[in-house]
Amino acid sequence: MGRKKDKKKRKKGGGGKRPGSGQPTKYDPKYCKQLIAEMQKGITFSGFCGKIKVSKTTAYDWVDKHKEFKAAKGVALNCHAYWCDKEMIKGMWGGKSFNPTVWIFLMKNMHGWRDKMEISEYPEEEFSFDNG
């Protein structure tokens, strides 16, 4: 003879919790300056998330919800690009322990570098040379 499982009635709506009553945000406006400071030292956005112990998803939510954090992320990315440029210049001139392959992948993944150039069959502007 088979056993019947007890069926408990469950309340709809997430067990009685109010909508939006989750854990309070860990966001702090001081993270704006900290993000810029870390990324200008070469730390990535993901690395910064690890430092402050939040997920990237949470940090991207902050980018969407807090204008000042979004602006700070934009500045921080430019600071990171500047750091990468300085490291590349040091490496070009014989800097110790420079790994060009790592640098290339960093620039491709963080700053939009690509191996190919897109060439349009129909350029946006036509130009001519004046031999005058």
Q: Where exactly are the structural domains of the chain?
A: 31-111
Reported as a single tens digit per residue, the pLDDT across 2-21 is 555 555 554 444 444 444 55
CA proximity to 77, closest of 51, 107, 55: 107
Reported as a single tens digit per residue, the pLDDT across 94-132 is 766 777 787 778 778 777 777 776 676 766 665 555 665
> Both tokens of residue 97?
């322990």
| Alpha-carbon separation of residue 125 from 46, 122, 128 (angstroms) | 39, 9, 10
| Alpha-carbon separation of residue 88 from 45, 47, 115 (angstroms) | 20, 20, 17
CA proximity to 70, closest of 59, 79, 80: 59
Would you state the pLDDT for residue 113? Answer: 74
39 and 80 Cβ atoms separated by less than 8 Å: yes
Would you state the pLDDT for residue 108? Answer: 82
Reported as a single tens digit per residue, the pLDDT across 39-79 is 999 999 999 999 999 999 999 999 999 999 999 999 999 99
Within 10 Å of residue 123's Cβ, how many Cβ atoms?
A: 8
